Amino acid sequence: MAKVKTKFACTECGTESPKWMGKCPGCNEWNTMVEETETEVKAIVGRSELHRAKEKAQPIIHIESKKEPRILTGMAELNRVLGGGLVPGSLLLVGGDPGIGKSTLLLQTAYSLSNKGLKVLYVSGEESVRQTKLRADRLGALNDKLYVLCETNLETIEEAIAEVEPDFLVIDSIQTVYRPEIASAPGSVAQVRECTAHFMRISKVNGVATVLVGHVTKEGAIAGPRLLEHMVDCVLYFEGERHHTYRILRAVKNRFGSTNEIGIFDMAEEGLREVTNPSELFLSERPLGVSGSTVVASMEGTRPMLVELQALVAPTHFPSPRRMASGFDHHRMSLVIAVLEKRMGMLLQNQDAYLNVAGGVKLDEPAADLAAIVSLASSFKDAPTKPYDAIFGEVGLTGEVRAVSRAEQRVKEAHKLGFKRVILPETSMKGWQPPKDIQLIGVTTVAQALKAALE
């Protein structure tokens, strides 16, 4: 007779313990340990299968190098983030806030692949087949090679996979799927871990490109054990502001490509539309000739992107001034404010300072430092910036402006959108030829940059 064991597992990180604890020793979160009951089964069969399937170790130079084939999804932005398309047999995890458009994106992708003659199985544990059909009618995603199943039982899903033999599989979502042998509720640590391992085995053995949709916590991380992100080949986050129509698809893990690329979509009535020129989108509502507004030429992977950076500096009556940043690193904001105070003599100790990247974009690279300094100085002096200037460069603690990578691509993007001048590090101007009808202003210090931008 099978032996029943009881253990406690953390819903945040998956740490297991034989007894309940108020604080998880793995992630230090409070009240996240939940009781799980599992049945201990004999491992004789598993060990025998392991011995039969065991491979011998071989020198790495004798292993044949083979480039992974790619399946183009029909959406250029998604192909960019994936590193060139879907890899057969890969396991992907897509996370995002509720209502952000994960199901819409995957249903459109499934339709594009079915149009190419591939069999697609869309398994939904949150919507009925009629609800999925209504969504497909709205998106125009109807094809006889697109199969839909409403099921949460892992065994039934496995039978459907064996019957359909799909080339592309979508599980929406992994938190709703359960394995009957496990006594835990769907969405628990044990269920998510075991079901993901099962889909990983199906994906690798049958060569099926599989996408798992994952719920997120209120902090924005994918719910469930951290082991979930380690098991899959690619982790994608679908981001965006609920009050804006555009969405950003970002890879945080990718075994088959770069994690620096992003894909940008616009949510319309007929579904998600690709944004081929994101710079034009983010600058469409930019006011001209106002203080505190600059345009920074940033890079997202290999894609140049122009974004508006806004600053507001206002007097405060409190002893401790506020420092708030949205879309910009708070620590780098404190750094550039300290440089303005020490190197430029601007008294900001009695001023509240706010930085905002318009459109909800996140600027993570140091190349945005110089634009942040110009925005803050412009708002502090109430001096309007020139409307057709683009700025980029890293700022050091001594007030020097350091070179950044891919200066040529940044300048060409500014030229394409009609900008007249680019303020950039002087050392970044070497080794390439800029366009003819755009002026480059090379600077080596913050003082030179502020003189060129505000005077």
Per-residue pLDDT tens digits for 20-59:
999 988 888 888 888 877 654 443 334 444 444 567 888 9
Per-residue pLDDT tens digits for 396-428:
999 999 999 999 999 999 999 999 999 999 999
The answer to whether 103 is a known ligand-binding residue is: yes
The answer to whether 17 is a known ligand-binding residue is: no
Q: Are 266 and 249 spatial neighbours (Cβ–Cβ below 8 Å)?
A: no
Give the pLDDT band of residue 358 (cuts 50, 70, 90).
Answer: confident
Provide the pLDDT for residue 42: 41
Provide the pLDDT for residue 185: 80
Q: Output b/e per residue, 67-95; b: 16+ Cβ within 10 A.
A: eeebbebbbebbbbbbbebbbebbbbbbb
Higher pLDDT: 56 or 153? It is 153
Per-residue pLDDT tens digits for 92-109:
999 988 888 999 999 999
The answer to whether 171 is a known ligand-binding residue is: no
The answer to whether 97 is a known ligand-binding residue is: yes
Output the CA torsion sign for 109, 114, 116, 118. positive
- Spatial separation of the C-alpha atoms in residues 160 and 171, rounded to whole Å: 12
Give the pLDDT band of residue 73 (cuts 50, 70, 90).
Answer: very high
CATH C-level class of 68-276: alpha beta
**pLDDT of residue 331 exceeding 70:** yes
In the 3-class helix/strand/coil scheme, how is 200-258 assigned residue by residue? Answer: HHHHHHHCCEEEEEECECCCCCECCCCHHHHHCCEEEEEECCCCCCEEEEEEEEECCCC
Provide the pLDDT for residue 276: 84
Q: Which two tokens stand for residue 20?
A: 């309940």
Among candidate residues 49, 111, 38, 48, the one with its CA nearest the CA of residue 75: 111
Greatest alpha-carbon pair distance for the chain in Å reads: 84
- Spatial separation of the C-alpha atoms in residues 134 and 121, rounded to whole Å: 17
Provide the pLDDT for residue 146: 96
The helix, strand and coil proportions of the chain, stated in percent and rounded to the nearest 5, come to 30, 30, 40
- Spatial separation of the C-alpha atoms in residues 388 and 417, rounded to whole Å: 10
Give the pLDDT band of residue 362 (cuts 50, 70, 90).
Answer: confident
**Between the CA of residue 15 and those of 19, 32, 188, 226, 326, what are the distances in Å?**
12, 10, 12, 9, 33
The answer to whether 101 is a known ligand-binding residue is: yes
- Spatial separation of the C-alpha atoms in residues 299 and 221, rounded to whole Å: 24
Name the region of 58 (left: φ>0; alpha: ψ -120 to 50; beta: rest). beta
The answer to whether 100 is a known ligand-binding residue is: yes
- Spatial separation of the C-alpha atoms in residues 96 and 300, rounded to whole Å: 19
| % of residues, the chain, pLDDT over 90 | 59
Domain ranges of the chain: 3-47, 68-276, 281-454
- Rounded to 5°, the CA angle 25-41-154 comes to 80
Secondary structure letter of residue 60 according to DSSP: G
- The CATH architecture annotation of domain 281-454 reads 2-Layer Sandwich (3.30)
